[in-house]
């Protein structure tokens, strides 16, 4: 009788641990967005955005987390002259026909970073090239980052590092990114 009671207690403990194990959290694409800014040498910033941003926050075996962000470059919208939108989509810039997806995969990080903010290192895949980058995760403005408020990732990359060398007379090298993420509601949210 004691054995069956202990066996039942152990089984209940294992089920409880399995239920408490962290699970992947998907982005809510309807409430997630990626935007960028390109600086013209003479007349200031030209903002742009991508209409579709997707990804997930995934637990690692060691207890840390990794984030993956996917942006559909074909859905680019630009608040600027028509020539600039054509150029930004072209082979000389994002080359959206040959490289329709922009992807960022972070290095593993402690979940506390979602609340505190700080450097978020990872790999950016853009135009068929992969480069190590460091973005900044902004400090959270709520108790449940990603659920009660956006997770916000900011960063600046060099166009040249990703082979975008055209229009140097008109465009500065820096491209600023601003990614805002909401996670899908779960039964706990």
Instruction: Kindly tell me if the per-residue pLDDT of 171 is higher than 80.
Output: no
pLDDT for residue 185: 78
pLDDT at 38 exceeding the cut of 70: yes
Cα 130 from Cα 111, distance rounded (Å): 25
The per-residue pLDDT for 93 is 80
The domain limits of the chain are 22-181
- List phi, psi (to 5°) of 74: -70, -20
The neighbouring-strand residues paired with 126 are 129
At residue 168, the pLDDT reads: 60
Strand, coil or helix: 101: strand
* Residues 75-132: tens digit of each pLDDT: 888 887 787 788 788 888 888 899 999 999 999 999 999 999 999 999 999 999 999 9
Q: What is the pLDDT of residue 66?
A: 97
In this predicted structure, the answer to whether residue 10 has a pLDDT above a threshold of 60 is no
- Mean pLDDT is lowest, of 12-26, 111-125, 131-145, for 12-26
**Chain position carrying tokens 């013209």:** 40
Which pLDDT score, from 0 to 100, does residue 45 have? 77
Q: Which CATH superfamily is domain 22-181 in?
A: Lipid/polyisoprenoid-binding, YceI-like (2.40.128.110)
């Amino acid at each position: 009788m004691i054995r069956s009671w202990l066996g039942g207690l152990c089984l209940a403990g294992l089920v409880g641990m399995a239920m408490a194990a962290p699970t992947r959290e998907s982005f809510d694409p309807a409430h997630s967005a990626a935007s960028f800014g390109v600086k013209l040498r003479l007349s200031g910033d030209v903002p742009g955005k991508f209409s579709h941003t997707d990804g997930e926050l995934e637990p690692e075996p060691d207890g840390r987390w990794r984030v993956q962000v996917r942006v559909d470059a074909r859905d680019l919208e630009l608040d600027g002259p028509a020539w600039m939108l054509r150029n930004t989509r072209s082979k000389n810039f994002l080359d959206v026909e040959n490289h329709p997806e922009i992807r960022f995969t972070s290095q593993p990080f402690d979940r506390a970073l979602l609340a505190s903010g700080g450097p978020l290192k990872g790999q950016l895949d853009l135009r068929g090239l992969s480069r190590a980058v460091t973005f900044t995760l902004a400090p959270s403005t709520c108790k449940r980052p990603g659920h009660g408020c956006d997770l916000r990732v900011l960063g600046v990359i060099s166009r040249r590092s990703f082979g975008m060398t055209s229009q140097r007379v008109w465009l500065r090298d820096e491209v600023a990114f601003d990614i805002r993420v909401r996670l899908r509601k779960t039964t706990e949210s």
